Amino acid sequence: MERLMTIGEFARASRLSAKALRRYDELGLLTPTRVDAHSGYRYYAGTQVERARLVAWLRRIGMPLAEVRDVCALHATDPGSAARAVRAYWARVEAETAARRDLAASLADRLRGSTGMTTTVRPYGLISAALSERGRVRETNQDRARAGARLLAVADGYGEAGERAATAALAEIEALLPAPGVPEAGRRAGDLLNALEDAVRRADTVVGAAAPGSGTTLTAGVWTGDRLALAHVGDGRAYLLRDGVLVCLTRDHTVVQARVDAGELDAAEAAAHPDRALLLRALDGADGGPVPDLGLYDGRPGDRWLLCTDGLSAVVPEAEIHGVLAAGSGPDDTVRALVALAEGRGGPDNVSCVVADVVPAGS
């Protein structure tokens, strides 16, 4: 029989600390081959070193534990999928870093007292389409979706007056936009995010007054010409398809996602969880108001944005969504194809999609 390694020996071989090894054991990431029933000492087999080094490497690039567990599981059965998961994770990190870089530049401008009244560069346009359908089970459609040259948004209303809640939320975001034909002169990106945050708070108040007892999610992006300023509350999703890689830019504000983040559930358990629609944040006029996630994302020709409600993302696997987005059809055909995918899987919920392509100006 192979001699097992003590936790100290194994820590040195795998470049993980003994403390980290104990935590990974508790999380089910790396289970010792044997635990001494009397002393509680952990012992590892030499064959576990490879897995431990993979965990160490993934932690070194900053991957959250829940995703590390998913990648390790994929690595055991399908290394190609594990590689794709690492690439998708890194694309998301870069998108988030770019967003923070822009915000930092914007803040530095402001602190320097710059007036910010520079000519706004509007190099790129958006060609977009929206589609919202009732689905095959629900009696009404409480989702709302908007797509235009400046605004992309989805809202998923719930409760007796869910439709009114979703409609009111989108109206507040639309009110942010300058009148058609009026350029958005000199509005800095950071200011736009602040304006978006204020609009989300106003929307919350309006929803509370117009639809008491009901509420809505909201995922909305305002296009500046080269950036998408994004505000997000609830379990809608925003995705970016760039160079063939699909990145989800939002995190679901759900009880289940919070448990995934804490390492208590894996992605498959979360997808099948009966409470997966239970929201942690929504626009409902409740005390305190919602805190939206805000982000600023560079866009360039060839990029494609998707905003959708959970009527799509909860029933259609991401790989299928990716396939439809990358198939090369225009936004109109693509939103129809996405809604058809959800309905093909029973259409249990209202389903809404917004697809927008970044194109060179004047095209």
In terms of Cα–Cα distance, which of 166, 145, 136, 163 is closest to 349? 136
Q: Are strands 351-360 and 42-44 parallel, antiparallel or unpaired?
A: unpaired
Q: Closest separation between CB of residue 356 and Mn ion, Å?
A: 21
In the chain, beta strands by DSSP E? 5-6, 34-35, 42-44, 124-133, 143-147, 151-158, 215-216, 218-223, 227-233, 237-242, 245-248, 293-298, 304-308, 351-360
Q: Closest separation between CB of residue 189 and Mn ion, Å?
A: 30
Q: Closest separation between CB of residue 294 and Mn ion, Å?
A: 22
Cα separation of 263 and 257, whole Å? 10
Q: Closest separation between CB of residue 135 and Mn ion, Å?
A: 9
Residue 143 or 172: the one with the smaller Cβ distance to Mn ion is 143
Instruction: Decide: 217 and 235 in contact? Cβ < 8 Å.
Output: yes
Residue 99 or 155: the one with the smaller Cβ distance to Mn ion is 155
Q: Closest separation between CB of residue 349 and Mn ion, Å?
A: 4
**Interface with Mn ion (CB under 5 A):** 156, 309-311, 349
Q: Closest separation between CB of residue 309 and Mn ion, Å?
A: 5
Q: Closest separation between CB of residue 157 and Mn ion, Å?
A: 9
Residue 125 or 290: the one with the smaller Cβ distance to Mn ion is 290
Cα separation of 349 and 311, whole Å? 5
Sheet order of strands, 304-308 included: 124-133, 351-360, 304-308, 237-242, 245-248
Residue 190 to residues 104, 163, 224, Cα–Cα distance (Å): 9, 31, 12
Residue 306 or 358: the one with the smaller Cβ distance to Mn ion is 306
Q: Closest separation between CB of residue 347 and Mn ion, Å?
A: 11
Identify residue 342 by its one-letter amino acid code. Answer: A
Q: Are strands 124-133 and 237-242 parallel, antiparallel or unpaired?
A: unpaired
Q: Is the dihedral of CA 64, 70, 74, 76 positive or negative?
A: positive
Residue 89 or 239: the one with the smaller Cβ distance to Mn ion is 239
Q: Closest separation between CB of residue 60 and Mn ion, Å?
A: 38
Cα separation of 363 and 356, whole Å? 14
Cα separation of 38 and 34, whole Å? 12
Residue 128 or 350: the one with the smaller Cβ distance to Mn ion is 350
DSSP, collapsed to helix, strand or coil, labels residue 130 as strand
Residue 127 or 277: the one with the smaller Cβ distance to Mn ion is 277
Residues in the chain: 363
